[in-house]
A and B are shown apart, each in its own frame.
Chain A
Amino acid sequence: MTLAFPKNTHLTVNPGQFVGIYPNDQTALLPRPISVCRWDEKEDMIRLVYRIAGKGTREFSGAGWGDTFNVTGMLGNGYDLSEMAGKSVMIIGGGIGIPPLLELACRLKEKPGTRVTAVLGYRDSNMFLREEFENASYRVYIATEDGSAGTKGNVLDAVREQGIAGNTDIIAACGPMPMLRAIKCFAGEHGIKAFISLEEHMACGVGACLGCVVKTKNVDEHSHVHNARICTEGPVFDAADVDI
């Protein structure tokens, strides 16, 4: 889905940030957090790629050009581009965690000396966004659960099979929790810095309700307990800082 914002909104998007979209169905009152897949700066438009998961996303999928939604955003921190510029970055996406990484790949492509390798994990040969990643990256590796393309297995199976961890400075990952846990572990073992994007059920999206927390290694600066708000301090965290 593509969202066009009112004239002169002057969006600025950091890759990894998300919006909260409100269904028009007034029995569904909370915003749906969806990450920005691509940002068109000139036109003040963003593209969202999402899976139909329930009431809200079903409503969005039935919308056409001219329909309107209330949206809050940009929300969250996003990936730290300056930290990744000039480095060898491995982007790892699993399933519906793939779309939020496309903006990152495209933005890193503009940074001189940055080398992006993408490892994308799909269920089967329905490899959405693959071509767009190929245009934005130095190399793209594929893993499919059913083995219909690339490595049979998960993203880390592909990383191991291809032996591509060696020259990676930073990992940027988004995907299901078991994948992120495995990446946190893998990155720790290999001494690679990993930034992971987390998901949690949200109510406000702006840091007010404390609904969306993740356990942190150290006492969080805002909350003063071992909890950080994914919507505000995240959704992107240094994997070493969170207890997942």
Chain B
Amino acid sequence: MKPSMEINIAGVKFRNPVMTASGTFGSGMEYAEFVDLTKLGAVVTKGVASVPWAGNPVPRVAETYGGMLNAIGLQNPGIDVFCSRDLPFLEGFDTKVIVNVCGHTEEEYLEVVDRLADEKSVSMLEINVSCPNVKQGAIQFGQDPKCLAEITGKIKDRAKQPVIMKLTPNVTDISEMARAAEAGGADAISLINTITGMKIDVERQKFALANKTGGLSGPAIKPVAVRMVYQCAGAVRIPIIGMGGIATAEDALEFMLAGATGVAVGMMSFHDPETAVNVAAGIEDYLVRHNISDVNEIIGAVQV
């Protein structure tokens, strides 16, 4: 018998646990030609702000051993364009849509949240309080538990969709941040965002990125991400969406065994656009192989 792949996060049902990670899949439009979007649990869109953001100077990306650094700086066309162009495109596909929201200030976050309130095609909001590449604001919400609980509460008061708070790994104790998000009323948390890193071109004796620092992602960060998901799973009751270097079904299963309900594929979509779809198929194969009838049985099932 075919195992059940469906998961439920805050009352939203997903066809399978595998999503795209914000910023690595555009608005879905860029990859729709290569990937069957209806085989994904959800499309998570690039962070969107209240107005267009120009982002950082180039070079914005640099390859590293088993991963990459990015300092895009959250370039985005703003919520108006997003609602009039990107959302209608995604509405053409039978897939769940999670909109990633960014801002410099509380007001900016709330403006986007309000603007999305009546968009029926948006299943959940993911609040990026963790981007390491934007100088002003933003990450302070993600690095100070009091600020995080506060902004979570304010967003929850206004949001019509369930809210995921996306956590940064650039903290001393991630479980404290998870608890703060839960205390603020978050419906779920997602982690990890990228780990702040740096690369220097020794021949040219220059920084590889114009921003000097960037966020590290890819297989190189996976063990850190799995550890953090495990810690958070022990700290909170709300569901967790795990990400960081997922390339294969085995990688995704590590996250789920550690306690993640959903998983997201990030930069590996750049390596192979079909990674997320293959991960979903591989999880199903695994369930068959292990005679497990429901994917929910493996969540947090790692044995001590």
Contact = CB atoms under 8 A, between A and B. Distances in A.
Given A29-B66, A210-B55, A204 B30 contact: yes
Given A22-B271, A27-B66, A227-B75, A209 B53 contact: no
A81 interface: no
B236 interface: no
Given A201-B59, A201-B62, A224 B270 contact: no
A227 B24 contact: no
B60 A210 contact: yes
Contact of B81 (A27, A224, A226, A232): A224
Interface residues of B, number: 37
A30 B61 CA distance: 10
B213 interface: no
B60 A206 contact: no
Interface residues of A, number: 31
A202 B61 contact: yes
A208 B24 contact: yes
A135 to B, nearest CB: 36
Contacts, number: 99
DSSP class of B's interface residues: helix, strand, loop or mixed?
loop
Contacts of B81: 224
B268 A29 contact: yes
Interface in A18-34: 22, 26-31
Interface string B48-72: 0000111100111111011110101
A213 B52 contact: no
Sorted from nearest, which 8 A-B pairs have the closest CB atoms? A208-B26, A211-B61, A224-B77, A208-B30, A225-B54, A203-B61, A29-B271, A207-B30
Interface of A: 22, 26-31, 70, 72, 200-214, 222-227, 232
18 contacts: A22-B271, A29-B66, A30-B63, A30-B270, A201-B58, A201-B61, A203-B61, A204-B30, A204-B269, A206-B31, A208-B25, A209-B26, A209-B72, A210-B60, A211-B72, A214-B58, A223-B77, A226-B54
